[in-house]
Chains A and B, each alone.
Chain A
Amino acid sequence: MKHLLLGNEAIAQGAIDAGLSGVYAYPGTPSTEITEYIQTSKLAQELNIHSTWSVNEKTAMEAALGMSYTGKRSMVVMKHVGLNVASDVFMNMSVSGINGGLVVVVADDPSMHSSQNEQDSRFYGKFAMVPILEPTNQQEAYDMMHHAFDFSEDTMLPVLLRMVTRLSHSRSGVEFKSRRTQNSIHLPEDTSRFALLPMNAKKQFEKLVEKKSLLMEYSEHSSLNELKLSEDKDIGIIACGIAYNYVMENISEDASFYSTLKISQYPLPKEKIKKLYKHCHKILIMEEGYPVVEELLHNYFDDNDKIKGKLSGDLPLTGELNPTIVANALGIFQNAAKSIPEIVSNRPPQLCEGCGHTDLFNTINALIPEIGNKNVFGDIGCYALGTLPPLNTINTLIDMGASITMAKGAADAGLENAIAVIGDSTFTHSGMTGLLDAVYENSPITIIISDNSAIAMTGAQESSAVGRLHNICLGIGVHPDHLKTMIPLRKNHDQNVELLRNELSHKGLSVIISERPCVRLSRDQKEDIKSKIAALS
């Protein structure tokens, strides 16, 4: 029987069936549904699989490593930019190695549907010298999880599984395998490899470097990397992950004519690539994201004119692939597509009707004539939409937590009336450390924590900040006289403007917590939040 699953859900079910004991994650599009699936899975509950959200990707990955240390299988899930946050532990746990199987699932977002860059996680995998798996479809994503955990335990390395938006958010029928039981606790025989003092780290790093040839051997024999040499000697197609689908969409009817190498496991199978290179006059590389494979191939061979892809200009260097782009690169004739009728206007995303962020921005906007229109530093979340017309409140959006620290740096430079706007969950994710910097120097900035009691942009997940913001700020050392609260409602507009004006005039640090629950929260969620806050006080 087939089950209809998103690529993300296939990953989640695959992990459950491969004997997962815990998933750790912070929500982020396009990765969120992996963890949500496990959180709502009855089976996962019966199996007592840990699935509570973590505060950020770094704490998530460290917790996953801790679970792996005990011998159990763990998974950590994030979007591509989340791996930047977790990169410290990611780079080091390949050196220590793992104990129970550990799979790092990272969902890249080529075309930046919901992100601030197009970074390609395969670079990180190569950087950390760990094996990378890249599924082409939902069934393969499911099947890969069994392989990924086994492979991780075989090599004692974390395995990076790279997803992309279009696979994460596409459904198809998936058949399940039988379920493997969870590992029991078995602590590492020798714990010194987890204590990366230089003397241990040196030994471990040598082992990691030595593993490369083993990993290449695995890739060479992996059925995930399938080489087909055919009559056609003109183009040899290397198709990685989801790009394989776009190739097959175009050539499936005469697939036997083309010479192809499908890549779903890295490091690259060098021998298979050499065979294809020898067989064909040119190599065309189809890969979603950066030209990772294409660059590597430039080091493999002398005649780089034979290697075609993004660097050669045969495919675009930015944005995601699609069947049409791939058809053009393959030289398959396409009827010119109709264009979008001119009458159609853009419809950018916007804050929901009745959203508290809008009232907050109206409050700030009332003071912009006095303070200037380039003083507001923003952050990652729904409120980033305050950058767009008609609000035009926010000037910057860089990474999680940067509103506070950029405002501080600007104030250090002499900018007056610097304002940082940050959401409750972004604040606990990466804002608290920056707040301590600002507290330590009593920086003359006004931080507004726009608290909607949810991780709203990704679908109103639970925020660990709920009910704790006030005490966190006091604990970090914000002066109680300059820790204020406002309710962003239209009826409070005038008093909120006055409150903000007062704090801006304070020549030191102020924090204003702007409290109003997300309009997307269900009644049950709101009740749940209320009882959590009550339990805390």
Chain B
Amino acid sequence: MNSMKTNIILSGVGGQGILTIAAVLDTAALSENIYIKQSEVHGMSQRGGAVQSHVRISDKEIYSDLIPEGKADLIISVEPMELLRYIPFLNKNGWLITDSNPFINTTNYPDKEALYEQIRKYPLHLIIDATEIAKNIGNSKVANMVLLGAASTIIPLSEESLLNAIKTLFQHKSEKIITLNLQAFFEGKKIAKAHSHFAIDK
């Protein structure tokens, strides 16, 4: 991802907090004075349904609020089945990053190993137990920052502006919460760096 035009899909289940990841990306992009459009889902789907957010950052004007099919450079998912739901948007060199933990609120949820197998068919994938990592840091809620940290290795936004965005976003929370989120970000980044595909300096 060398060009400054990046399309990212964030996916998950209503209430899982993908909008926090979106907000960090938005804030960081705005601080770098580049164009940003970020669409999100409000309303009925937020009640435990499938939700997604399209984040587009570019050094040129962005027109569509929605990413065209086949044009997403990266899908970040907080849930493995929801990652696969947006495969039609992925470009042929696209990256996939997901938390390995399924969110099961339906009776016909597929076998998780079968989901991983499906994800592994795409060469540039990273399946992380982000929830476990977050728990070890101190709060499973920061799993989203683990994923963002991993994704930061391939997103064309500087680490400085991403970290500042996290600090800005949680400025009204306690120092402890800010530290937890930053720690989660670094843990995620470390894991991505250890992974062959991601060990490329951007």
Majority SS at the chain A contact face: loop
A252 to B5: give the CA distance in the assembly, Å. Answer: 14
Q: Are B65 and A170 in contact (CB under 8 A)?
A: yes
Query: A249 contacts which of B41, B64, B109 (Cβ < 8 Å)?
Result: B64
The smallest beta-carbon distance between B106 and chain A, in angstroms, is: 6
The yes or no answer to B170 lying at the interface (CB within 8 A) is: no
Residue in B40, B48, B61, B106 whose CB lies within 8 Å of A345: B106
Q: Is the CB of A171 within 8 A of B87?
A: no
Judge if B69 is at the interface, Cβ distance under 8 Å: yes
Q: What is the bound-complex CA distance between A385 and B35, given in angstroms?
A: 38
Q: How far is the CA of A346 from the CA of B81 in the complex (A)?
A: 10
- Counting contact residues on chain B (CB < 8 A from A), the size range is 35 or more
A4 within 8 A of B: yes
If A4-B27, A345-B108, A345-B109 touch, does A167 touch B65 (CB 8 Å cutoff)? yes
- Tell me, in angstroms, the Cα distance from A245 to B110 when the chains sit together: 37
Contact with B along A448-480 (1 / 0, CB 8 A): 000000000111000000000000000000000
Instruction: Decide if B70 touches A351 in the complex (CB within 8 Å).
Output: no
Q: Which residues of A contact B108 (CB under 8 A)?
A: 345
How many Å from the CB of B65 to the closest CB on chain A?
4
Complex Cα distance, B99 from A388, in Å, reads: 29
Whether B87 lies near A338 (C-beta < 8 A) is: yes
B91 CB to closest chain A CB, in angstroms? 9
Given known contacts A173-B30, A248-B63, A344-B84, A349 and B35 CB-to-CB distance under 8 angstroms: no
Bitwise, A292-308 to B at CB < 8 A (1) or not (0) is 00000000000000000
Counting CB contacts under 8 A, is B114 at the interface? yes
Q: Is the CB of A30 within 8 A of B68?
A: no
Find chain A residues with CB under 8 A from B45 CB: 113-114, 349
Selecting from A184-192, A321-329, A364-372, the interface stretch reads: A321-329
A350 to B50, CA, bound (A): 11
| B105–A347 touching, CB < 8 Å | yes
Q: Is B44 an interface residue (CB 8 A)?
A: yes
Q: State whether the Cβ of B76 lies closer than 8 Å to any Cβ in chain A.
A: no
- Could you say which residues of chain B place their CB within 8 Å of the CB of A222? none
> What are the residues of chain B within 8 A of A169 when measuring CB–CB?
39-42
**Complex Cα–Cα for A33 and B48 (A):** 20
Q: How far is the CB of A460 from chain B (nearest CB, A)?
A: 11
Q: Report if A322-B43 is in contact (Cβ < 8 Å); known contacts: A340-B87, A344-B85.
A: no
A242 touches B65 (CB 8 A): yes
Min CB–CB distance B69 → chain A (angstroms): 4
- Give A306 Cβ to nearest chain B Cβ, in Å: 26
Taken together as a complex, chains A and B put the C-alpha atoms of A385 and B49 apart, in Å, by: 11
> Is the C-beta of B78 less than 8 angstroms from some C-beta in chain A?
no
Whether B68 lies near A349 (C-beta < 8 A) is no
Q: Are B47 and A337 in contact (CB under 8 A)?
A: no
Please name all residues of chain A whose beta carbon is closer than 8 Å to the beta carbon of B67 when the two chains form the complex. Answer: 323
- A172 at interface (Cβ–Cβ under 8 A)? yes
Contacts of A343 in B (CB 8 A): 81, 84, 110, 114-115, 118
B30, B38, B43: the one within 8 Å of A29 (CB): B43
Select one of B42, B61, B65, B88 contacting A339, CB under 8 A: B88
Kindly identify which residue among A170, A171, A335, A349 contacts B47, using a CB–CB cutoff of 8 Å: A349
In the bound complex, CA of A141 to CA of B38 (Å): 16
B157 within 8 A of A: no
CB-based contact B115/A337 at 8 Å? no
Q: Nearest CB to that of A7 among chain B residues?
A: B65
Supposing A167-B65, A350-B49 touch, asked if A341 and B87 sit within 8 A by C-beta, the answer is yes
Q: Are the C-beta atoms of A166 and B63 separated by less than 8 Å?
A: no
A244 neighbours in B (Cβ, 8 Å)? 63
B66 within 8 A of A: yes
Interface residues of A in 422-464 (CB under 8 A from B): 457-459
> Given A4-B27, A337-B88, A341-B87, are A349 and B63 also a contact pair (CB < 8 Å)?
no
Quick check: B40 and A170 within 8 Å, CB to CB?
A: yes
What is the CA–CA distance of A169 and B62 in the complex, to the nearest angstrom? 16
| Minimum C-beta distance from B111 to chain A (A) | 8
Q: Which A residues are CB-close (under 8 A) to B90?
A: 338
CA distance A385 to B65 in the complex (A): 29
Known pairs A4-B30, A114-B43, A346-B50; list 15 more (Cβ under 8 Å): A169-B39, A169-B41, A173-B35, A245-B64, A249-B64, A324-B68, A338-B90, A343-B84, A344-B84, A345-B106, A349-B48, A350-B105, A352-B48, A457-B47, A459-B42
